[in-house]
């Protein structure tokens, strides 16, 4: 008998076809939103699950899934999963690093440029029919070229963003849990800085850190108030890394110039303050969303699940201490 697996979101046909070669698949072709109770019911007799950020895999849920052996997340971040609880239960957890690096870095630049040059605000102005004449001082933006770029989180994505900064002749500094080897710093043209020094120095602050209790509200009121009043914040990391309430205040009071955001606390709900502001560019968590990349992410999760349930070691196991 084939193992039984659940795929919580509508994935690509290629991915479903691949999974069907190995498993009995409970799919979600209508891409319904399942609440915790519905997810628990569906998982009750499953051996594995392909999840997304929208699924909270916590201890209570795991307790109701006695057969569960693997949770394979579509995404590099996996803060939606209680990895400790999975490890104790012998459940393998995997993520999808690498395949989304370049697309996500592209999008960080899309947000940075759109925010600096007020693209969405300018487009709304045109759509409203407000453009009746050319003005010298119309929609004045901020120069990106030659500016000071500060990156929090210098993993794969942070480094890919850093590589792109060269084309804009920017000066680059970063802050990370661990300092990079000197050779990597040299290749990227990036100097290490302490957190406060980076906030005070940067014209653009870009966040790429994973979410954890350590990075919860990494950027809060105190940090925002350290930034230059001309600075722009870009968050492609995770909701919760920024204190949204404090950011709304900082944007409203022009304590910082603007922000470009892809992620939010409590998403998909949006802090109502953001909607009223003109100096924020808002995207619905789509940094990795190109067809090629989302397909590669889903396929990576599927491959991880096949390895996990056929006695192999999945390539992207995040809890290697797990007892098979
Ligand atoms: C995903 C992400 O699209 O990889 C991540 O951690 O935030 C996004 O690229 C999302 O997690 C889908 O589950």
**Omega cis (within 30) before 268:** yes
Q: Whose CA is closest to atom 5 on ligand 1?
A: 75
pLDDT tier at 269, thresholds 50, 70, 90: very high
* pLDDT above 70 as % of the chain: 100
Q: What pLDDT is stored for residue 55 in this prediction? A: 96
Give the mean model confidence (pLDDT) for residues 78-84: 97
Ligand 1 centre to CA of 104 (Å) is 9
Q: What pLDDT is stored for residue 323 in this prediction? A: 75
pLDDT tier at 179, thresholds 50, 70, 90: very high
Give the mean model confidence (pLDDT) for residues 290-299: 98
Cα torsion 197, 201, 205, 206: sign: negative
311, 324 Cβ separation under 8 angstroms: yes
Q: Whose CA is closest to atom 1 on ligand 1?
A: 75
Strand partners of residue 191: 173
Give the mean model confidence (pLDDT) for residues 150-166: 98
Ligand 1 centre to CA of 288 (Å) is 7
Q: What pLDDT is stored for residue 305 in this prediction? A: 98
Q: Is the CB of 157 under 6 A from ligand 1?
A: no
236, 263 Cβ separation under 8 angstroms: yes
Ligand 1 centre to CA of 77 (Å) is 6
**Position 14 pLDDT exceeds 90:** yes
Q: Whose CA is closest to atom 4 on ligand 1?
A: 75
Rounded distance, CA 306 to CA 308, Å? Answer: 5
* pLDDT above 90 as % of the chain: 98
Rounded distance, CA 238 to CA 197, Å? Answer: 23
Give the mean model confidence (pLDDT) for residues 265-289: 97
Ligand 1 centre to CA of 53 (Å) is 6
Q: Is the CB of 288 under 6 A from ligand 1?
A: yes
Q: Residue 179: which of 144, 217, 153 has the closest Cα?
A: 153
Give the mean model confidence (pLDDT) for residues 110-118: 98
pLDDT tier at 1, thresholds 50, 70, 90: confident
Q: Is the CB of 219 under 6 A from ligand 1?
A: no
**Position 234 pLDDT exceeds 70:** yes
Q: What's the Cα-to-Cα distance from 100 to each of 20, 160, 212, 292, 309, rounded to whole Å?
A: 24, 11, 20, 9, 24
Give the mean model confidence (pLDDT) for residues 139-168: 98
Kindly state the DSSP code that residue 212 receives in the 8-state scheme: S
Report the atom number in ligand 1 closest to the C-alpha of 75: 4
**Position 274 pLDDT exceeds 80:** yes
Least confidently predicted of 4-8, 34-38, 159-163: 34-38
Report the atom number in ligand 1 closest to the C-alpha of 286: 3
**Position 324 pLDDT exceeds 70:** no
């Amino acid at each position: 008998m084939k193992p039984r697996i659940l795929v919580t979101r509508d994935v690509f046909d290629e991915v479903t076809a691949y999974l069907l070669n190995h498993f009995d698949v409970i799919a979600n072709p209508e891409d319904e939103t399942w609440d915790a109770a519905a997810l628990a019911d569906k998982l009750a007799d499953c051996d594995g699950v392909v999840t997304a950020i929208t699924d909270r895999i916590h201890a209570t849920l795991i307790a109701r899934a006695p057969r569960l052996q693997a949770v394979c997340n579509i995404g590099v971040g996996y803060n939606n999963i209680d990895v400790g609880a999975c490890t104790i239960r012998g459940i393998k957890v995997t993520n999808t690093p690498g395949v989304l690096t370049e697309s996500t870095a592209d999008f960080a630049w899309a947000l940075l440029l759109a925010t600096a040059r007020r693209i969405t605000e300018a487009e709304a102005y045109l759509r409203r029919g407000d453009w009746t004449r050319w003005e010298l001082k119309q929609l004045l933006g901020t120069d990106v070229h030659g500016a000071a770029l500060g990156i929090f989180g210098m993993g794969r994505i942070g480094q890919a963003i850093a590589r792109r900064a060269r084309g804009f002749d920017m000066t680059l500094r970063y802050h990370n849990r661990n300092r990079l080897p000197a050779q990597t710093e040299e290749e990227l043209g990036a100097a290490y800085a302490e957190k406060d020094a980076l906030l005070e120095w940067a014209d653009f602050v870009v966040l790429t850190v994973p979410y954890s209790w350590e990075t919860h509200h990494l950027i809060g009121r105190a940090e925002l108030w350290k930034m230059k009043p001309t600075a722009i914040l870009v968050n492609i990391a995770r909701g919760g890394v920024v204190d949204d309430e404090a950011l709304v205040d900082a944007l409203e009071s022009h304590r910082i110039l603007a922000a470009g955001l892809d992620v939010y606390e409590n998403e998909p709900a949006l802090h109502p303050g953001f909607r009223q502001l003109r100096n924020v560019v808002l995207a619905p968590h789509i940094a990795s969303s190109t067809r090629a990349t989302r397909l590669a992410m889903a396929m990576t999760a599927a491959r991880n699940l096949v390895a996990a349930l056929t006695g192999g070691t999945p390539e992207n196991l995040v809890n290697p201490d797990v007892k098979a």
